[in-house]
């Protein structure tokens, strides 16, 4: 094997499983993250993304399976090489951005001269003296991400990284993650923001009900959708999913975000046929969008379920 990320993964989970009393959780899962990789854990709510990320981040102990960080089963040693962002924006809220960053950077032994550039890159340096409780949720998320990104930790784990970020925040984060990959650093994100995943990830692991149903390079997943189109229909009322599935060329159809998400082979007359089916039902169509398929359609094709339902 010539791919260094496969021969020498920085993070390797083998048969990892963590289940709660109610049966939810994750596993068994096998995955690796190597240098220069951005692995995205993608799945709907309750699919086990966050539980898996918490295990990978040393926060939660798995019930079974093996986890290796940089080739070692040593959580304490791993923590000196990783940075983690969970969904909560917990800080010392009465203190300033700079004071909070100083603590986290010192704990991770990041050189002082790197602190200020990290705040400037996140566009929070101007607010550096303000107590954090005065900042908006989005700005606090930026601070949180800046605290994790400072010093370029070899392994970065982010849970729902785009939560609360505006357009410029997403662009900044996407560029920061791409820059990390160029530097040969490893990143693992947990999200169902497929647009962001398509911007930054090199590999995607789809999770459904705690199981990894597909783990493949992003390019391979998108290539599998060649010749198909994504059709989004919005209705006032229930979506007639079953009838649409019967239209020739429709590969998958699932209820999603108050409408219907359809993945279909591109051919002449497809849209009119679908609309004719709906016309028979007297369904109240309020919107129709056709676009090139993306990662959400990969998930639909693979599982028959919409990612955002």
Residues that bind other proteins (CB under 8 A): 54, 57-61, 76, 79-80, 82, 84, 86-96, 98-100, 102-104, 106-109, 125-129, 131
Asked if omega into 28 is within 30° of 0 (cis), the reply is yes
The minimum distance between CB 32 and other proteins, in angstroms, equals 20
- In this structure, are strands 186-191 and 64-69 parallel, antiparallel, or unpaired? unpaired
SS3 call for 214 = strand
The minimum distance between CB 160 and other proteins, in angstroms, equals 13
In terms of CB distance, is 146 or 254 closer to other proteins?
146
The minimum distance between CB 152 and other proteins, in angstroms, equals 15
In terms of CB distance, is 120 or 309 closer to other proteins?
120
In terms of CB distance, is 102 or 213 closer to other proteins?
102
In terms of CB distance, is 18 or 252 closer to other proteins?
18
In terms of CB distance, is 50 or 228 closer to other proteins?
50
The minimum distance between CB 156 and other proteins, in angstroms, equals 12
Contact 118, 146 (CB under 8 A): yes
The minimum distance between CB 48 and other proteins, in angstroms, equals 16
The minimum distance between CB 250 and other proteins, in angstroms, equals 43
Q: Which residue has the tokens 């998320």?
A: 141
The minimum distance between CB 307 and other proteins, in angstroms, equals 25
SS3 call for 123 = coil
In terms of CB distance, is 58 or 199 closer to other proteins?
58
Query: Which among 178, 174, 176 is positioned nearest to 191, based on CA atoms?
Result: 174
Query: Which among 20, 21, 105, 90 is positioned nearest to 55, based on CA atoms?
Result: 20
Rounded (10°) angle between helices 167-182 and 137-149:
10
CA distance 97 to 132: 6
Contact 185, 9 (CB under 8 A): no
Please give the order of strands across the beta sheet that includes 25-33. Answer: 25-33, 11-19, 64-69
What is the number of residues in the chain? 309
In terms of CB distance, is 91 or 229 closer to other proteins?
91
């Amino acid at each position: 094997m010539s791919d260094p990320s496969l021969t020498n993964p920085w993070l390797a989970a083998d048969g990892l499983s963590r289940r709660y009393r109610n049966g939810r959780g994750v596993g068994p899962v096998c995955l690796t993250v190597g240098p220069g990789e951005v692995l995205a854990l993608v799945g709907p709510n309750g699919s086990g993304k966050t539980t898996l990320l918490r295990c990978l981040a040393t926060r939660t102990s798995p019930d079974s399976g093996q986890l290796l960080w940089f080739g070692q089963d040593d959580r304490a040693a791993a923590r000196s090489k990783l940075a983690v962002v969970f969904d909560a924006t917990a800080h010392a809220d009465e203190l300033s951005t700079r004071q909070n960053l100083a603590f986290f950077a010192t704990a991770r032994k990041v050189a002082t001269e790197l602190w200020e550039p990290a705040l400037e890159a996140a566009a929070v340096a101007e607010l550096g003296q303000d107590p954090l409780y005065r900042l908006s949720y989005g700005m606090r998320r930026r601070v949180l991400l800046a605290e994790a990104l400072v010093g370029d930790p070899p392994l970065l784990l982010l849970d729902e990284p785009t939560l609360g970020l505006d357009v410029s925040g997403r662009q900044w984060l996407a560029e920061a993650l791409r820059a990390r990959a160029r530097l040969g650093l490893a990143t693992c994100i947990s999200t169902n923001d497929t647009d962001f995943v398509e911007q930054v990830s090199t590999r995607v692991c789809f999770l459904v009900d705690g199981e990894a149903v597909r783990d493949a390079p992003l390019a391979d997943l998108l290539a599998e959708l060649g010749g198909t189109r994504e059709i989004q229909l919005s209705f006032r009322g229930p979506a007639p999913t079953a009838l649409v599935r019967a239209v020739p060329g429709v590969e998958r159809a699932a209820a999603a975000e108050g409408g219907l998400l359809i993945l279909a082979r591109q051919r002449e007359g497809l849209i009119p046929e679908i609309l004719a089916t709906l016309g028979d039902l007297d369904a109240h169509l309020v919107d129709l969008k056709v676009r090139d398929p993306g990662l959400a359609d990969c998930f639909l094709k693979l599982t028959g379920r919409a990612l955002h339902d």
